[in-house]
Amino acid sequence: MRALPLWVAVVLSLWLALGGLLLMAPGAQAQSSASTSAGSPALSQSDIARMLPSTDMGANAARNADPHLQPVGDNPATPFDAARVPDNPLAPQAQAVGAKTCIACHALENLQASHSLHVASFRAGAANTGPQAACEACHGPGSDHAKNPTAKGSIIAFTHGSASTAETQTTVCLGCHVGGARQHWLGSVHEARGLSCTDCHNPMVRNSPEGVLAKSSINQVCATCHQDILVKFNRRSHMPLPEGQMACTDCHNPHGSITKPLLKTDTVNETCYTCHAEKRGPFVFEHAPVRESCLNCHDPHGSNQQTLLVLPLPMLCQQCHTMNRHPNDLQTRQSMRNGLVPDERLMGRSCLTCHTNIHGSNNPNGSMFHQ
Amino acid sequence: MLTRKPLSACLAVLAGLACAPVVWAQSDTSDTQRVGNMQFGNTLDPTGWAPFTTPDPMGMSYLHPDQLRTPTGALYPYPAQAPDEAPLGKGDWTYSWLLQFGYIHTSGDRNAEFFQMYSDWRNAGAVGMLAFSAYNRKTGQYVEFRGSHVSDKDQYYRLRAGQYGSYRIEAFFRDIPHVLSTDAYPLWNGVGSTNLTLPPGITPGVSSQAQIAAVEAQRPRRTLSVTRESEGVSWEGALGRDWIGYGGVTNENRNGDRDWGGSMFFSYPFLSPGPGGIGTPSVPGVMGGQNETVRPVDFTTTDINLGLRNKAGASGWLFNFTMTASFFRDHKDYLDFTAPFGVLPGPATSITGGTFSLEPDNNYYNVRLEGSHALKWWNGQFSASAAYGSMRQNDTLQAPLNAMFCPSGQFIGTTGIPCSDWNTTAALSQQNGDARIDTGLVNLRLSFRPTASFNWYANVRWYGENNMTRYTMYNPLTGQYGFLHESGSQAVIIGNAEAGLFQAGNPLYESYFTQFANIPYSYNDRQGELGGTYQLNNQNSLGLTYTLDHQTPQQRERTYLNDQHIKLTWDSKSFGDSTLRFSYEYQKRTGGPYNAFPYMNWYSPSLPGYVQDALGVVAYTVDQMYKYDMSNLKATKLKAILTTPLGNTATLTTTVYGNRNHYGADIGRQSVGTTGADVSFDWTPSATTTFNSYLSIESSRIKQGNVADNEALIGTSPLQADMEFGGPMYPYANFWTATDTERDANAGLTISHVFTPRVKLDVGYNYTYSHGVNGYDYSSMGAISPSYWNILTTADIGNSFPANIYRLQTLSANMNIALTPRVGLRLYSQYEFGRFADWHYTGFDSPGDLVIGNRVYTDLGPQTHWHAAVLGAFVTLKL
């Protein structure tokens, strides 16, 4: 099929972009903004008090008294249909009031949360057995908050400025999500630096295909703090994160692991081998720095050199190889293809043109990785 | 036209997949503890979720108009509009679906390597998204499917089903393209196979360089690429009140080809000054040869993962057991290539080609058991992990030489070495690789929180690798040790003196210095760490960590290394609403005495019968060379991230970072330094408008030193054995340094706006610029190859290479127009403008440039300038 001339494609591209920008004129914006942040004033405490329905406060006790329902236990691994209402250290006397009370004020939160996979699971449990397995399974008992909604700490909150500590917040989440991928949360760098689960997750909405993430993809979430790492994936050689084929969590477990960089496996190399199994070998002839760590030569987050190398060849190799004769000679601009002395040690794939099996060789003549 | 009834029937079948018995237990999933396949998307939609991200103008709460923030201070995006649902049958199921299909058109330089790298853009129909979900609100059962098809090499489909809190099953299929070169002109026929042959008209060893260049110039352009096609199934679910199990199998096929090598000994030492003398282009050498070939990629990797964990049952132990088995199979595990040039000028010699052993099949096993238990004291916890792994391969080994290129009845050049002694597997000391590396890991941790404001921990970790591979390069047919370099070509050019062989009692070989066995690199790593965090007040906490990492590498330059780290952290919310995370780390590495050549046990002087040459063994390297993974190191690292809420609708995130590494080496890597900063500004004035932008800059510098040996001493003077830097073999005059200086700048913005409920526009612009300069300095002409002394002058040499540049600007726009509640139109465009320069490929401008002297290259390198555009028009249908 004949291709459109490039200029036509460019014009069409620009049309899409510029046309949209023109539509962003104030008039167009006014049309849409009227329905949203039109400045509806925040509700006062008395407004909220008037709106409160009769509640199912005390449902926790009622539930335990009902022989037909599973009792509420202290085990953090209880199923959703017996979800435990967590203690709120800042409101130790508070009682569970049931979702009906919460929804009286938080009607829109309730509506949005019902689309979230996370809340849906609680709904499924609550539908079977009672109101405990809903809002208060995460936010703690709500009676103090219902009485005084603006008092900080009266409910376990998971957002900016919350009086609840990060430890309190994460303890709630780990009440169900303990173990597995979170086995090493305690002591992990993200735990130690005071992050909360809701720095990365927003269990109240469904804005991502899975993982109830705070943004629509894993990579966007990680870039919230690690933009410096994400931009490295824009470099000449990179793994296909910008193209949507990979995620940071393909290699890293942000919930903690027994390695410093939060790798999912025991070592850097074992992580790399999961996609590059051919490099695993073992080979009859190993290359010491390769077997030790792929990071000796590669930057997995992106590089300005070919194949994620940290330096151009042959300089990369010459950091270690000063053996007699050919490895230790200075290569200059005259060794380029158009130089006075074109040199195979520099042109194209440089050292790898001859030492091709650099990751290891299984050839009986392969101790120098020629074959 | 789709009708509800048949569709409902189909969907009911899918929903049935999720109707497994309910287990009375609560389970969750643990994807983030398993490697790979976490993300399903493509360039058309990197999130894999774009059709479902239209913000709901209602927002999140009636109590406040704007969005809340994460605990750190970043704004949460507005909730997305939930897709419409419809009842499925008469039960409690509801379902939803979306189909987006259309046509993609590409223009401009659509064969540019970087344009195609991970995106198989074509002029063809495409499915932007096919999604289906069904959900039972009463039972929590669900079925979800997502898929997208750009081409047969760029597609994904994933199905998930299960019951929340009980179990989940998953199946997926995907293809990921990876283009490695779009400017490849392989000289050989048979690309993709294991046997590369020369095109008609080329006679090895007889054709001239000009003749081969002429043939090369007519070779067709090819794209070299590898496609990963993988599929997998898995299950994770409750196995009882506190037990959760996992089982998964994935299978990946990698197919394609990539540029490779093929050496037939050096060419560079044999060139000479051009006809005009010094300063004129040199005359290419006519010996040896380098061949950039193309290898096949035909891999299969099958992974099996099993897991069982306990969520702290009655025993109070939190257990996690995982077992992994991985089976890699290389269906084309060798490569033969015919060399276009004879390694010596004149009539064809016996060595007319080379052979590679490609990666052997391998198996890998790993088991890991982790357990954690609360302690009675100080709110403590004890955690232990232990793992055992094993990597194994036992492939059949090839003969040292290929009978095709060194047939029985012939000899290797004038050495008198019969091919028949080396072109058979009878020449091997063992027939199979029999290679194995076992690994072990133990990690113990005690964590305490004696008060609400103070916690501390102690961690010890041991990791070990034991390489059990043993291979001796011994030919039972001849009684010789060693190997024939580069498919025997070195022996053809140099003769017996450097054939690569050792044999006691044979005057030809009894003094030759050669490796005769593999070196089984192994290491142990013992690590101890003590750390704690103290909460000064509600706004500030300080952390301090000390780590001692004691490594004992085997068969390396040092017998032990001690890496000490001190890390200080400060997390603060005392700057208004901002959150600051600051860290500073100091590292110091020391170790045992450095032995520049610890490998003598695997070289011929350690064999009985070795006769020391009167001139001594040539200094293999210089004593003062410190490999950077073994050298001393003093390093500092600093990073600060400040997240600042601006009003109720914007966030400014500023990051500053840097590191300085000094290796204490003159020869080897000397220093590394990086300094960078990022600023991100995110603004969400309303549910309908989002603006994100970022600016990132980074500079880095790596400096190294090296020294050329005095090649005139080799074979002529006993001074050749002197390994001292500054001695006659490695004189100061031959010292040189090289510096890699890189500057990177990135900027980008995205604007998303919903004009009415009917039109959503996303516009994005991204700018990437990398500028790298490789400079060098040298003490004298002794730093460069002696064969160039009569050709180059200091003016020719200069002090740097041309800059390496990678600049890419991408403008993308996406417009979604809702024509009716169920029918929409998506217009997609991406315009890309790039520039690239890499001195490795300078001068490779056309296929005729790929032959120079006895060197034949395949790849012209990535395109230096390109403009390319993608246009797509899609129809979106949904429930």
| A240 neighbourhood in chain B, CB within 8 Å | 117-118, 176, 178
Is B76's CB within 8 Å of A192's CB?
no
Which residues, in sequence order, are bridge partners of residue B805? B771, B837
| B239 neighbourhood in chain A, CB within 8 Å | none
Q: Across residues A134-159, what is the average pLDDT?
A: 92
CB < 8 Å from A in window 692-711 of B: 694, 696, 698, 702, 704, 706-709, 711
Reported confidence tier of residue A133, pLDDT bands at 50, 70, 90:
low
Q: Tens digits of per-residue pLDDT, A210-253?
A: 889 999 999 999 999 999 999 999 999 999 999 999 999 999 99
Q: Tens digits of per-residue pLDDT, B303-331?
A: 999 999 998 766 788 999 999 999 999 99
Q: Is B483 on the interface with A (CB under 8 A)?
A: yes
What is the least distance, in Å, from the CA of B201 to any CA of chain A?
A: 25
Q: Is pLDDT at B490 greater than 90 in this prediction?
A: yes
CA distances (Å), origin B230, targets B61, B170, B227: 43, 14, 10
> In angstroms, rounded to a whole number, what is the distance separating the alpha carbons of residues B463 and A139?
42
Query: What is the per-residue pLDDT for A83?
Result: 67
**ipTM (interface pTM):** 0.95
Quick one: closest CA in B to A295, which residue?
B629
CB atoms within 10 A of CB B789: 13
A72 touches A64 (CB < 8 A): yes
> In angstroms, rounded to a whole number, what is the distance separating the alpha carbons of residues B457 and B288?
61
Q: Is pLDDT at B594 greater than 60 in this prediction?
A: yes
| B870 neighbourhood in chain A, CB within 8 Å | 9
Q: Is A189 on the interface with B (CB under 8 A)?
A: no
| A251 neighbourhood in chain B, CB within 8 Å | 35
Q: Is pLDDT at B439 greater than 60 in this prediction?
A: yes
CB < 8 Å from B in window 12-31 of A: 12-14, 16-17, 19-21, 23-24, 28-29, 31
State percent of chain B over pLDDT 90.
Answer: 87
> In angstroms, rounded to a whole number, what is the distance separating the alpha carbons of residues B217 and B503?
46
> In angstroms, rounded to a whole number, what is the distance separating the alpha carbons of residues B354 and B340?
11
Q: Is pLDDT at B152 greater than 50 in this prediction?
A: yes
Is B262's CB within 8 Å of A356's CB?
yes
DSSP B167-212: EEEEEEEEEEEEEEEEEE--SSB-TTSSEEBPPTT--TTTS-HHHH
Is A354's CB within 8 Å of B47's CB?
no
Query: What is the per-residue pLDDT for A49?
Result: 47
Query: What is the per-residue pLDDT for B89?
Result: 86
Query: What is the per-residue pLDDT for A64?
Result: 55
Which residues have a Cβ under 8 Å from the Cβ of A282 and sit 6 or more positions away?
A291, A360, B362, B391, B392, B393, B435, B436, B437, B467, B469
State percent of chain B over pLDDT 70.
Answer: 96
Angle at B490 between CA B484 and CA B491, to 5 degrees: 70
Q: Tens digits of per-residue pLDDT, B807-840?
A: 999 999 999 999 999 999 999 999 999 999 999 9
> Which one, of B743, B661, B658, lies nearest residue B703 by Cα?
B661
Query: What is the per-residue pLDDT for B512?
Result: 94
Is A251's CB within 8 Å of B301's CB?
no
Reported confidence tier of residue A114, pLDDT bands at 50, 70, 90:
confident
Strand B759-778 to B735-756 pairing? antiparallel
With 0-12 / 13-18 / 19 or more C-beta atoms within 10 angstroms meaning exposed / middle / buried, residue B85 is: middle
Q: Is pLDDT at A19 greater than 60 in this prediction?
A: no
Q: Tens digits of per-residue pLDDT, A313-343?
A: 999 999 999 999 999 999 999 999 999 999 9
CB < 8 Å from B in window 121-140 of A: 121, 123-125, 127-128
What is the 3-class SS of B666-714, one letter each residue? CEEEEEEEEEEEEEEEEEEEECCEEEEEEEEEEEEEEEEEEECCCHHHC
Is A227's CB within 8 Å of B655's CB?
yes
B798 touches B776 (CB < 8 A): no
Query: What is the per-residue pLDDT for A67?
Result: 58
| A309 neighbourhood in chain B, CB within 8 Å | none
Write the residue in A124, A218, A342 that is nearest to B139 by C-beta: A124
Q: Tens digits of per-residue pLDDT, B79-104?
A: 999 999 999 988 889 999 999 999 99
Q: Tens digits of per-residue pLDDT, B109-151?
A: 999 999 999 999 999 999 999 999 999 877 888 999 999 999 9
CA distances (Å), origin B813, targets B44, B48, B752, B828, B873: 11, 16, 10, 6, 12
Q: Is A312 on the interface with B (CB under 8 A)?
A: yes
Query: What is the per-residue pLDDT for B415?
Result: 92
**Tokens at B714, concatenated:** 């080799």
Q: Is B176 on the interface with A (CB under 8 A)?
A: yes
Is B687's CB within 8 Å of A36's CB?
yes
| A339 neighbourhood in chain B, CB within 8 Å | 843
Is A284's CB within 8 Å of B471's CB?
yes
Is B28's CB within 8 Å of A176's CB?
yes
Q: Is pLDDT at B527 greater than 80 in this prediction?
A: yes
Q: What are phi and psi of B291, to 5 degrees?
A: -125, 115
Interface test with A, best of B172, B272, B359 (most A CBs within 10 A): B359
Higher pLDDT, A60 or A289: A289
Strand B667-686 to B625-626 pairing? parallel
Is B69's CB within 8 Å of A160's CB?
yes
Interface test with B, best of A8, A12, A16 (most B CBs within 10 A): A16
Q: Tens digits of per-residue pLDDT, A73-100?
A: 443 333 455 667 899 999 999 988 888 8
CA distances (Å), origin B830, targets B40, B126, B416, B623, B766: 20, 16, 64, 55, 11
Is A124's CB within 8 Å of B436's CB?
no
Cβ pairs bridging A and B (under 8 Å): 708
Query: What is the per-residue pLDDT for B240?
Result: 80
Reported confidence tier of residue A298, pLDDT bands at 50, 70, 90:
very high
Worst-scoring range by mean pLDDT, A46-60, A90-104, B856-870? Answer: A46-60
Is A228's CB within 8 Å of B676's CB?
yes
Query: What is the per-residue pLDDT for B166?
Result: 86
Q: Is pLDDT at A40 greater than 70 in this prediction?
A: no
Interface test with B, best of A320, A359, A368 (most B CBs within 10 A): A320
B435 touches B515 (CB < 8 A): no
CB < 8 Å from A in window 180-239 of B: none
What is the least distance, in Å, from the CA of B202 to any CA of chain A?
A: 22
User: What is the distance between the terminal CA atoms of chain A, rounded to a whole angstrom?
Assistant: 43
b or e along B698-711 (b: 16 or more beta carbons within 10 Å of the residue's beta carbon)? bebbbbbbbbbbbb
Mean pLDDT score of chain B:
93
Q: What are phi and psi of B320, to 5 degrees?
A: -145, 115
What is the least distance, in Å, from the CA of A135 to any CA of chain B?
A: 15
Write the residue in B41, B261, B842 that is nearest to A353 by C-beta: B261
B644 touches B681 (CB < 8 A): no
Is A79's CB within 8 Å of B146's CB?
no
Mean pLDDT score of chain A:
82
> Which one, of B516, B342, B500, lies nearest residue B413 by Cα?
B342
Q: What is the Cα A271 distance to its own chain's centre?
A: 18
Query: What is the per-residue pLDDT for B31?
Result: 85
Ranges A123-127, B496-500, B553-557, most confident:
B553-557
Is B702's CB within 8 Å of A123's CB?
no
**Tokens at A174, concatenated:** 């780990």
Helix (H, G, I), strand (E, B) or coil at A245: coil
Is B261's CB within 8 Å of A354's CB?
yes
Interface test with B, best of A84, A316, A340 (most B CBs within 10 A): A340
Is A322's CB within 8 Å of B618's CB?
no
Q: Is pLDDT at B13 greater than 50 in this prediction?
A: no
Query: What is the per-residue pLDDT for B529?
Result: 97
Q: Across residues B418-438, what is the average pLDDT?
A: 97
Q: Is pLDDT at A68 greater than 60 in this prediction?
A: no
What is the least distance, in Å, from the CA of B4 to any CA of chain A?
A: 23
Is A296's CB within 8 Å of B178's CB?
no
> In angstroms, rounded to a whole number, what is the distance separating the alpha carbons of residues A364 and B517?
10
> In angstroms, rounded to a whole number, what is the distance separating the alpha carbons of residues A304 and B134?
45
Is A312's CB within 8 Å of B840's CB?
yes
Q: Is pLDDT at B12 greater than 50 in this prediction?
A: no
Which residues have a Cβ under 8 Å from the Cβ of A15 and sit 6 or more positions away?
none
Query: What is the per-residue pLDDT for B34?
Result: 85
| A348 neighbourhood in chain B, CB within 8 Å | 292, 840-841, 844, 857, 859, 861
Q: Across residues A35-56, what is the average pLDDT?
A: 45
Q: Is A180 on the interface with B (CB under 8 A)?
A: yes
Q: Across residues B169-194, what is the average pLDDT?
A: 97
Is B686's CB within 8 Å of A267's CB?
no
Query: What is the per-residue pLDDT for B348?
Result: 64
Interface test with A, best of B23, B35, B114 (most A CBs within 10 A): B35
Query: What is the per-residue pLDDT for A131?
Result: 55
Q: Tens digits of per-residue pLDDT, B705-760?
A: 999 999 999 999 999 999 999 999 999 999 999 999 999 999 999 999 999 878 99
pTM across the whole model: 0.92
Is A176's CB within 8 Å of B400's CB?
no
Q: Is A160 on the interface with B (CB under 8 A)?
A: yes
